[in-house]
Amino acid sequence: MSLLAQVRLTRGSLELDVEVAADEGEVVAVLGPNGAGKTSLLRALAGLLPLTEGRITLDGTVLEDPGKNIFVPPEQRPVGMVFQDYLLFPHLSVLENVAFGLRSRRVPAATARARGWLERVGLTDLADVRPAALSGGQAQRVALARALATDPRLLLLDEPLSALDVTTRAETRRDLRRHLATVSGIRLVVTHDPLEAMALADRLMVIEGGRLVQSGRAAEVTARPRSRYVADLVGVNLFRGRARGTQVELETGGALTVADQAQGEVFAVVHPRAVAVFRQRPDGTPRNVWPLRAVDIDLHGDRVRVRLMGVVTIVAEVTPAALADLGLADGLEVWAAVKATEISVYPA
Amino acid sequence: MQKLVDTGLVMGSPRVFATNRLQIVVPAGNPKGITGLADLRRPGLVVVLCAPAVPCGRYADQALQRAGVGLVPASQEADVKAVVSKVALGEADAGIVYVTEVKAGGVKVQGIVIPDNENVVAGYPIAVLKAAHDGRAAQAFVDFVLSPAGPRVLAGFGFGGP
Amino acid sequence: MGRGRQPVPLPIGILAGASAAFFILPLIGLILRAPWAELWPDLTAPESLLALRLSLVASLSATALALILGLPLAWIYARVVFPGRTVLRALTTLPMVLPPVVGGVALLMAFGRRGLLGQVLDAAFGIRLPFTTAGAVLAETFVAMPFLVLTVEAGLRSMDRRYEDAARTLGAGRWTVLRRVTLPLVAPSLFAGAVLCWARALGEFGATITFAGNFPGRTQTLPLAVYLALETRPDAAILLSLVLLVVSLVVLVVLRDRWLGSA
């Protein structure tokens, strides 16, 4: 049982061209910046947005193929969707909401089954309540129960936690993970939160500007980001350049000396922790030393991140104490050093 | 006018200066071949009258009574012009209006004469009001209307003499 | 004035007061001049009761007809883009701005005995609309339906269409979506539109008298009865006008929150 989809469509200024492949039992997270096309991808899989080109095949059945004039409407696809704002029908009770899909598909004993699902998400007491009276976390659970009640082969979740406040989010994330684990079928979760992606999913897909930029296991993607977006999400410095042995010439100018040999187009990742900052030019082993200017100082928890610009642009992470000692301030000229062994290089 | 006389607002007594008679109005060419009031009872004929509240409607009822014709119209219009319009538009087959209205109706309509013994003569009285601003001018106008010049002008519109 | 609320600027207050007086004075005048002594005999006179009953029957029928014809139209205007939509929409809104008598004449041209469609109806089915109660209903529908269409269209446009998407992903076909999701969500606009339509149909005069004529019990609705009563029984006219006024007032008061609140 699997999903294989080549999705090509144009929506306004967005041109989406993505290939998705997922197996039964997989939870795949779709990550990307706003406007990247994540929601459009989900809507296309659900049948709410027609393809211009491509094909969607689920469990061997072709759901859509514009080339052959095949289009299975959303109500006939074994696909369930949890929307970003949940979209619980405001004029129906919680129970009626959950039973909606069952009634529409004429499943017998709809009410009883709906009650069963409400029990599974722990909301039996709220069966006759209207959605307006629910808290964010409760609404999310109802939306999930409603989508799961029809036993979809493919479950799509569009930013399931983004409408919640921070404290509720952590708790709901744990619950969601638990519920998702009990469900068979393929689950696709759209999110812009890498933490959420890693907590919920086995595999990540990164979409930017309508294109698939990176795909793989969560650990892989975060260890070896292939785009600025992912690098920023993970919080590392990402460089791109041409490697010749242990020298990497950066496309933005400057060069890095690395420990591992490489040839051709490469990415290089430097964690901000690995960047040391000095008032004077340091004397020592680091191969990478540059005079830079501090342009941005940002507090991140109990660490400080300093953006340094010059022949290279790099973010360093230091302690507040170090900040004070160095007298680091906006515009200050400093020296930055990175050991070659701290730089991870991989083919682009 | 009677109300004005009764409340003593009128100088002297009113004089009738013109008269009007009723006629049956039909579309030009008389497609349904109406010849008199009795024909209006023909089944399937659409006849419109003025509403009883309006003078023309009252007179039409009187004429119909005199002719011994009991008629239930399709509509009782609020004014006599509406009756003519409906006939002119072809929505009604016939109506009862004043002679002057048939004349004013132009080429789209024509009139069928109602014999005197069935017809009703409406008189138009004129009088000067005691409260008139310029009594002499008012009296001069009344004198003009009552002189031979008056009927001559009004005859052009179809009014009869006093 | 509550604490923290700004006082009303004087010019606005004066103008608003004058404006309110403009509307309230006629009503007060009617109430003061009404011959209350003859209230019961006048109102229960056969002509009055006949006119009242006919008005209610005709206006309710017109509203029903407007719902049947107007809902699909509103749906199309709100959801479907097609060439000429703007023009068509303007045309079907025209009765709102046309003088009613002009509307009546237009109806005669289309549905009269010699009208475009009227001819066919007469020749093929023997159906004649002028001078009939059905004709009165048609005239009232013609002038009142735009109110319903506009209100419902506004409701459909302002509704979050993603609810329909959600319903479809749950397996609801298009009819089920319409029945269980769309219509319940626009119910307030539907109600407001129907009531506005009914109120307009109730008060309709010009198109009715021009197209359907005037005959007690058949086409003489309350407004027509008032107009004719003015000639000979002005007191009765005042009382009948008050009836119409009170009915319309009640309708508008009930609708106030919905009308100003939603849509």
Class of residue B70 by CB neighbours under 10 A (exposed 0-12, middle 13-18, buried 19+): exposed
Provide, rounded to the nearest whole percent, the portion of chain C with pLDDT above 70. Answer: 95
Question: Does any CB of chain C come closer than 8 Å to the CB of residue B91?
Answer: yes
Q: How far apart are CA A23 and CA A44, in angstroms?
A: 19
Determine whether the interchain pair B74/C213 forms a contact, defined as Cβ–Cβ distance below 8 Å: yes
- The Cα–Cα gap between A147 and A140 comes to 11
| Cβ–Cβ < 8 Å for A7, A16 | yes
Q: Which of B54, B77, B90 sits opposite C213 (nearest CB)?
A: B77
Chain A environment of C169 (Cβ under 8 Å)? 46-48, 74-75, 77, 79-81, 147
Which pTM value belongs to this model?
0.79
Q: How far does the CA of residue A91 sit from the closest CA of chain C (Å)?
A: 7
Asked if A touches C (at least 3 Cβ pairs < 8 angstroms), the answer reads yes
- Is the per-residue pLDDT at C175 higher than 90? yes
- What tokens does C241 get? 């006008």
Nearest CA in chain C to A82: C166
- Facing residues of A268 across strands? A239, A345
How many whole angstroms from its chain centre is CA A286?
Answer: 35
Is C162 touching A (CB cutoff 8 A)?
yes
Q: Between these two residues, C257 and C119, which has the higher pLDDT value?
A: C119
Contacts of A189 (CB under 8 A, 6+ apart): A27, A28, A29, A30, A157, A160, A180, A196, A197, A200, A201
Query: Lowest-pLDDT range, B108-112, C68-72, C144-148?
Result: B108-112
Nearest to C169 among A79, A89, A91 (CB): A79
In which residue are the tokens 């350049």 written?
A241
pLDDT (0 to 100) of residue C4 = 64
Q: What is the largest CA-CA distance in chain B?
A: 57
Where helices occur in chain A by DSSP H, the ranges are: 38-46, 94-104, 110-120, 136-148, 166-182, 194-200, 218-223, 228-234, 320-326
Contact of A333 with A348, CB cutoff 8 Å: no
pLDDT (tens digit per residue) in C126-141? 889 999 999 999 999 9
Of B51, B53, B75, the CB nearest to C131: B75
**Residues from chain C contacting residue A100 (CB–CB below 8 Å):** 167, 170, 172, 180
How far apart CA A135 and CA A128 sit, in angstroms, is 15
Residue C107, pLDDT > 90, answer yes
Query: Region C40-55: what's the mean pLDDT?
Result: 82
**Interface residue B78 vs chain C (CB under 8 A):** yes
Q: How far is CA C20 from CA A19, C9, C16, C256, in A?
A: 66, 16, 6, 16
Minimal CA separation from A179 to chain C, in Å: 19
E strand map for A286-328? 288-300, 303-310, 314-318
CA angle A223, A224, A226 (to 5 degrees): 140
Q: Which of A81-85, A324-328, C113-117 has the lowest mean pLDDT?
A: A324-328
Nearest C-alpha in C relative to B78: C228
Q: Which residues of C fall within a CB distance of 8 Å from B74?
A: 130-131, 213, 215
Q: CB contact, 8 Å: B88 with chain C?
A: no
The verdict on C3 touching B (C-beta cutoff 8 Å) is: no
pLDDT category at C262 given cuts 50, 70, 90 is very low
- Greatest C-alpha distance within chain A: 78
Q: State the pLDDT at residue C263.
A: 41
Name the nearest CA neighbour of C58 among C143, C153, C148: C143
Chain C CB within 8 Å of residue A132 CB: no
The CA distance from A46 to the nearest CA of chain C, in Å, is 7
State the average pLDDT over residues C204-212: 94
Is C213 close to B78, i.e. CB distance below 8 A? Answer: no
Provide the β-strand partners of residue B10.
B129
User: CA Rg, chain C, in Å?
Assistant: 22
Per-window interface: C 116-145 vs A, CB < 8 A: none
The CA distance from B124 to the nearest CA of chain C, in Å, is 18
Q: How far apart, in Å, are the Cα atoms of A310 and each of A295, A299, C203?
A: 10, 22, 80
Name the residue among B54, B74, B78 with its Cβ closest to that of C131.
B74
Torsion sign across C-alpha atoms A27, A28, A29, A35: negative
